[in-house]
Amino acid sequence: MRTSTTNIYIFALSCASSCVLIGFLLTHGIRSTFHAETFYRHIFTTIFPIHLTCLLIQIYLTATVAVDRFILICFPFRGQKWRSPRHAMFVVLGVSVFCIIYCVPFWFEFTLVVRNNTKVIVMSKIGVNPLFRALMRKYLYFVFVFLIPLSTIIICKTMIIKKLYTVRQRKRLLGTSSKQNRSSNAINFLLLSIVFVFLATQLPYFVFNVLYAWIGPSLMANLRARQYLAINNLLSVINASSTFILYAFFDRKFRQVGQHFLLCQPLSPSFDNQGGATRILTSNRNPSFFFSNSKSSRSSIHLLKNYRYSSTVNNNLKDFNKNQLFDNKMSSAKSAPLFEENEQRPTYN
């Protein structure tokens, strides 16, 4: 996962979606199931800003996934320097810090007061302040929560679909198709499905927040508005749960890991070699080589065989040359006399 920017963004998005689901469970789920109004009132002032922060992180990470795929598909060579795992970690960290800072004022929007010996959730002095309502609920919300991420997602998705359609038409004319292309298409469909589900489930929520920003808290006095909010909360839960479902639908390796952990089924013996890297250790004099395991491409196998063959032949030649030199030296020392038999040897006085 650490070597792929897409997996880093998907992992961060999954964590944010899990936090959103936990927030819905603690507020709406427990309150509706167990009628725990007292528990809801005690945790609302703490859970609400955290839940809002996780929702904003989820929105921006979805936009980040769309931008990352847009760079990969539309600018595959010029955008490689921006798709390193280090940049991905910094982007996730920067998005999280920005969302936390943006949601700091919402920690002071609501408070608990005691009325008739019962604690009630009401808006604080900061929450009813006209400046707070205008900035946080109208203008800043419309720009940073609605306009920027939504326009980014729509533009990137449109450009990606257009580019993929062009590439598919070109491959159809050339008649080129491989398993690697199908795997890449599965990843593209996965990310486009995540973005599509996000748009389908979050657009009604955005509309409600815009109405709430312009009309104010008096909107909640309308029964239709409360029902519409309940439907939007259900759509947000579906969006937060869709990442796991879509990932399990498109990724076979993810399904195998899920079956291993949930059903206690053993993994296949070739699981570690699927799409991974195998390290081939040679002698101490030679470095290690890495070859990708791909059934569709056998160049690495031929390269490995040629390398083993050449190294074996070279080693045999070296040994043969050494033995031949050694035999030649020994034979020359034994068979080649220093003087001829008929030649008179010099005498020294």
Residue 216 lies in a domain: yes
Q: What is d(CA 278, CA 275) in angstroms, rounded to the nearest whole number?
A: 10
Give every CB contact of residue 239 below 8 A, 6+ residues apart in sequence. 17, 58, 197, 198, 201, 202
Average pLDDT, the chain: 77
Determine the pLDDT at residue 318.
Answer: 45
Task: Please tell me whether residues 289 and 161 are part of one structural domain.
Answer: no
Q: Are residues 164 and 198 in the same domain?
A: yes
Q: What is the arithmetic mean of pLDDT over 138-158?
A: 92
Q: What is the arithmetic mean of pLDDT over 220-246? A: 89
- Res 298: pLDDT: 44
What does the pLDDT read at residue 177?
60
226 alpha-carbon distance from chain centroid: 36
Residue 343 lies in a domain: no
At 256, the pLDDT band (50, 70, 90 cuts) reads confident
Question: Is residue 252's pLDDT more than 80?
Answer: no
CA 227 – CA 220 distance, rounded (Å): 10
Do 258 and 286 belong to one domain?
no
Are 92 and 162 part of one and the same domain? yes
Based on the fold, state whether residues 227 and 303 are members of the same structural domain.
Answer: no
CATH number at residue 188: 1.20.1070.10
| 296, 172: one domain | no
- For residue 207, what are the CA distances in angstroms to 145, 149, 203, 212? 12, 14, 6, 9
Q: Average pLDDT in the 184-208 region?
A: 86
**What is residue 243's three-state secondary structure?**
helix
pLDDT level of residue 325 (50, 70, 90 thresholds): very low
3 state DSSP class of 121: strand
| Whether pLDDT at 25 is above 50 | yes
**pLDDT tens-place string over residues 149-191:** 999 999 999 999 999 889 888 888 887 665 556 667 777 888 8
pLDDT of residue 270: 63
Rounded Cα distance between 57 and 16, Å, is 7
- Tell me the percentage of the chain whose pLDDT exceeds 70: 73
Evaluate whether residue 112 is within a structural domain: yes
Of 25-34, 48-57, 150-159, the range with the lowest mean pLDDT is 25-34
Q: Would 267 be classed as within a structural domain?
A: no
The reported pLDDT for the residue numbered 283 is 38
13 located within any domain: yes
**Residues 88 and 218 reside in one and the same domain:** yes
Q: Which residue has the higher pLDDT, 227 or 344?
A: 227
Looking at the domain assignment, is residue 39 inside a domain? yes
186 domain residue, yes or no:
yes
* Same domain (yes/no): 42, 130: yes
**What are the b/e assignments for 206-221, b being 16+ CB within 10 Å?**
bebbbebbeeeeebee
Residues 301 and 186 in one domain: no
> Exposed, middle or buried by CB within 10 Å (0-12, 13-18, 19+), for 74?
middle
For residue 145, being part of any structural domain is answered with: yes
Q: Are residues 285 and 202 in the same domain?
A: no
Average pLDDT over residues 212-235: 88
Q: Which residue has the higher pLDDT, 93 or 335?
A: 93
Contact 95, 9 (CB under 8 A): no
* Nearest CA among 2, 18, 6 for reference residue 57: 18
Neighbours of 68 (CB within 10 A): 23
Kindly state whether residues 9 and 109 are assigned to the same domain.
yes
> Do 82 and 108 share a domain, yes or no?
yes
Residue type, 100: I
Residue 297: domain span? 277-330
- Quote the pLDDT of residue 320: 45
pTM of the entire predicted model = 0.71
Q: State the distance between the two ends of the chain, measured CA to CA, in whole angstroms.
A: 88
Q: In angstroms, rounded to a whole number, what is the distance separating the alpha carbons of residues 78 and 72?
A: 9
- Rounded percentage of the chain residues whose pLDDT exceeds 90: 31
Q: How many domains does the chain have?
A: 2
Contact 254, 248 (CB under 8 A): yes
Helix/strand/coil (H, E, C) string of 36-105?
CHHHHHHHHHHHHHHHHHHHHHHHHHHHHHHHHHHHHHHCCCCCHHHCCHHHHHHHHHHHHHHHHHHCHH
pLDDT-based confidence at residue 90 (cuts at 50, 70, 90) = very high
